[in-house]
Amino acid sequence: MRLSRQDILAGALDLLDEVGADNLTMRRLATALGVTNGATYWHFASKQVLLAAMAESMLAGVTNGLDRDAPWWEQLTATAHRLHAALKSRRDGARIFAGAFFPEPNALAYGETMIGILREAGMSPRDAVWTVDTITYYVVGHTIEEQAAAGLAEDDVPDLRAALDPELHPNTLAAIDDIPAPHPPEHFDHGLELIISGLRTRLGVEVVSNGG
Q: Is 83 in the site for a copy of itself (CB under 8 A)?
A: no
Q: How far is the CB of 127 from DNA (least distance, A)?
A: 38
One of 8, 15, 128, 147 touching a copy of itself (CB under 8 A): 128
Q: Is 3 in the site for DNA (CB under 7 A)?
A: yes
One of 42, 141, 170, 185 touching DNA (CB under 7 A): 42
Q: Do 103 and 53 touch, CB atoms closer than 8 A?
A: no
- Selected range binding DNA among 28-36, 85-93, 163-171, 189-197, rule: CB under 7 A: 28-36
Q: Is 163 in the site for a copy of itself (CB under 8 A)?
A: yes
CA angle 62, 129, 126 (to 5 degrees): 155
Instruction: Say how far apart CA 3 and CA 94 lie, in whole Å.
Output: 27
CA dihedral sign, ordered 72, 73, 74, 78 = positive
36 binds, among DNA, a copy of itself, none (CB under 5 to 8 A by kind): DNA
Instruction: Say how far apart CA 155 and CA 64 lie, in whole Å.
Output: 41
Q: Is 194 in the site for a copy of itself (CB under 8 A)?
A: yes
Q: Is 20 in the site for DNA (CB under 7 A)?
A: no
Q: Is 182 in the site for a copy of itself (CB under 8 A)?
A: no
Count of chain residues binding a copy of itself (CB under 8 A): 67
Residue closer to DNA by CB (options 41, 138) is 41
- Selected range binding DNA among 23-31, 87-95, 147-155, 182-190, rule: CB under 7 A: 23-31
Q: How far is the CB of 73 from DNA (least distance, A)?
A: 42
Residues that bind DNA (CB under 7 A): 1-3, 23-28, 35-39, 41-43, 45-48
| Site residues (vs a copy of itself, CB under 8 A) | 98, 101-104, 108-109, 111-112, 115-116, 119, 121-131, 133-134, 136-138, 140-142, 144-145, 158-160, 162-164, 168-172, 174-175, 178-179, 187, 190-191, 194-204, 207, 209-212
